[in-house]
């Protein structure tokens, strides 16, 4: 059990809930003996490199969480170093809720999900948006991806946790299904052509 995750997620209210329900002692032991898990490892970096989307959580000044899906070409969420992730913030519905939230509160959360592999990683940290830094934006831009980039968003990692795959449904993207079907489609076309030749 990652130690930093427990330090952030297990508030006094959470600890009280665990105590009432009998899991507190187990988690205390896990947290005391667990690794920090506060840096991006090579394995996690490889996982991130294949993602074409993730969920970003911020906190508004009225205390409500705001969750937003961010999508792009695979690899658009980039590992800048072992403590920092970054991505290009594309033009959207111009509500600017995430930008406004980050003005008042830097605490943020990333929920990284790979439905095909039934794997998820939760990341706690602080986020900031950066405007007018053309070098950073170019570093985060995906070549050939047509969306307009308005700014960069940097995410400074404080804790990571990967938990079990229980209850995660297996889902495939259109591109993944097409790739899996391609050999079958090619074989069908080959057989149809042979059938046409046989019938002549």
CB 47 within 8 A of CB 121: yes
* Residues 195, 156 contacting (CB under 8 angstroms): no
Quick check: helix, strand or coil at residue 117? Answer: coil
Kindly report the average pLDDT of the chain as a whole number: 90
3-state secondary structure of 151: strand
For the chain, give every domain's residue range.
Answer: 1-35, 38-169, 170-200
* The pLDDT of residue 200: 66
φ and ψ at residue 117, rounded to 5 degrees:
-90, 0
H or E stretch including 5? helix 3-9
> Residues 78-124: pLDDT tens digits?
999 999 999 999 888 889 999 999 999 999 999 999 988 889 999 99
pLDDT of residue 58: 98
- The whole-model pTM stands at 0.84
d(CA 101, CA 109): 13
Query: Any idea which fold 38-169 has?
Result: Pnp Oxidase; Chain A (2.30.110)
Residue written as token pair 């999508």: 71
User: What are 38-77's pLDDT values in tens digits?
Assistant: 999 999 999 999 999 999 999 999 999 999 999 888 899 9
Per-residue pLDDT of 155-166, as tens digits, reads 999 999 987 777
Which helix (H) or strand (E) is 110 found in, with range?
A: strand 107-114
Separation CA 83–CA 99 (nearest Å): 21
Phi, psi of 56 (to 5 degrees): -115, 125
Helices (H), 34-169: 42-49, 97-104, 134-140
Based on its alpha-carbon atoms, the radius of gyration of the chain, rounded to whole angstroms, reads 22
Cα separation, 181 vs 18, in Å, equals 47
At residue 82, the pLDDT reads: 96
Whole-number Cα distances in Å, 12 to 7, 30, 134, 196:
10, 17, 43, 73
Sign of the alpha-carbon dihedral angle for 171, 175, 178, 183: negative
Kindly compute the dihedral angle of the four CA atoms of residues 182, 186, 189, 193, in this order, to the nearest 10 degrees.
Answer: 170
pLDDT digits (tens, 9 = 90+) for 142-155: 888 888 889 999 99
């Amino acid at each position: 059990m990652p130690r930093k995750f427990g330090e952030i997620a297990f508030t006094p209210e959470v600890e009280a809930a665990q105590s009432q329900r009998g899991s507190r002692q187990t988690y205390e032991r896990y947290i005391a003996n667990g690794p920090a898990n506060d840096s991006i490892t090579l394995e996690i970096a490889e996982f991130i490199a294949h993602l074409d989307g993730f969920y970003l959580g911020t906190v508004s000044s009225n205390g409500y969480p705001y969750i937003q899906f961010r999508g792009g070409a695979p690899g658009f969420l980039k590992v800048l170093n072992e403590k920092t992730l970054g991505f290009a913030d594309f033009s959207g519905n111009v509500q600017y809720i995430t930008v406004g939230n980050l003005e008042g509160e830097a605490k943020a959360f990333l929920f990284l999900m790979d439905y095909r592999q039934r794997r998820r990683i939760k990341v706690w940290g602080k986020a900031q948006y950066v405007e007018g830094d053309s070098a950073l934006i170019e570093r985060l831009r995906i070549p050939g991806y047509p969306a307009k980039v308005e700014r960069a968003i940097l995410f400074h990692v404080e804790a990571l946790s990967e938990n079990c795959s229980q209850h995660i449904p297996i889902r495939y993207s259109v591109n993944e299904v097409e790739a899996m079907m391609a050999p079958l489609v090619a074989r069908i076309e080959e057989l149809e052509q042979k059938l046409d030749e046989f019938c002549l």
